[in-house]
Amino acid sequence: MPGSSCVFLMYHELELAGRKLCQSEPGYVRYILPLESFRQQMAWLKNSGWHALNVTEALNYPNQNCVCLTFDDGCETDLIAAAPLLREFGFRATFYVTAGFLGTPGYLSEEQLRQLDSEGFEIACHSMTHAYLTDVSEAEVRREIVDAKTRIEQILGHAIEHFSCPGGRYDRRTLAMVRQAGFKTLANSDFHANTSATSAYELGRIAILRDLPIAAFEAICNGRGLWKKRYQHRARRGVQRVIGNDAYDRLRNALLGEPPS
């Protein structure tokens, strides 16, 4: 968006023709864009003169039309689908990978992660096992944050600085551990644009959903209408707190029309 604020966009796996997704439940698939939809969004940005930045660059809040592109989970499509398209458009991005998923079917291998890194894309951390960090023990939080950072750094041979929370779930304990581990930022899934006044440990991100019309994408990049989504998001978080994350996920999958897998 214009001026010294920036909307951080959150993507996940991309859908390629003839290729099985990493997961199939509706609560997952709603976050998955077919490659062509993603291309359409990137083409709109490019044709409209926008810049696409990684997290480190976005934190400078340059005075131009820009979005920050982020991808969660570390799916193989980061390298084989997103990266080539981003290179074609001259766009930068940050890939938050789940350390414990590396080398499992559908996700990046260690070698592929090194390749993505060597192509100049920013690699960041999205926990060890994708556990909701509000639901696990102190020892597990340490493993999810500290050990995951170490694992990725060992693979890449350099420090990584940014962390994003699985499912957007975080609390004070999460924040403290992320700081203690030496991460410089924490990204969540809260619906707001970020500015130079936003805490680096409370970076909002807007999840781009599968069926988002291009006009709605443009509105998001411009930071329009985010307050409406913010209220919906807060209401969801309230339900999650009352009934618990597991029950919430089962309920969401039931409401979306399929039993949880």
Contacts with Zn ion, residue ranges (CB under 5 A): 72-73, 166
Query: Based on CB atoms, which residue is closest to Zn ion, 73 or 122?
Result: 73
Nearer to Zn ion, 73 or 76 (CB): 73
Q: Closest approach of Cβ 16 to Zn ion, in Å? A: 19
* Residue nearest to Zn ion according to CB distances in the complex: 72
Give the Cα separation of 220 and 235 in Å (integer). 20
Contacts of 14 (CB under 8 A, 6+ apart): 32, 33, 34, 35, 38, 75, 77, 81, 82
Nearest to 122 by CA among 62, 184, 45: 184
Separation between Cα atoms, residue 61 and residue 14, nearest integer Å: 27
Least spacing, CB of residue 164 vs Zn ion, in Å: 7
Q: How far apart are CA 28 and CA 31, in angstroms?
A: 6
Residue 69 Cβ vs Zn ion, minimum distance, rounded to whole Å: 15
Which among 23, 131, 146 has a CA at the least distance from the CA of 75? 23
Work out whether the CA dihedral 31, 35, 41, 45 comes out positive or negative. Answer: positive
The smaller minimum CB distance to Zn ion, of residues 66 and 145, is found at: 145
CB of 60 to Zn ion, least distance (A): 26
Nearer to Zn ion, 54 or 98 (CB): 98
Q: Min. distance of Cβ 225 from Zn ion in angstroms?
A: 24
Q: With CA atoms as reference, report the closest residue to 160 among 172, 151, 171, 173.
A: 151
CB-nearer residue toward Zn ion: 1 or 14 = 14
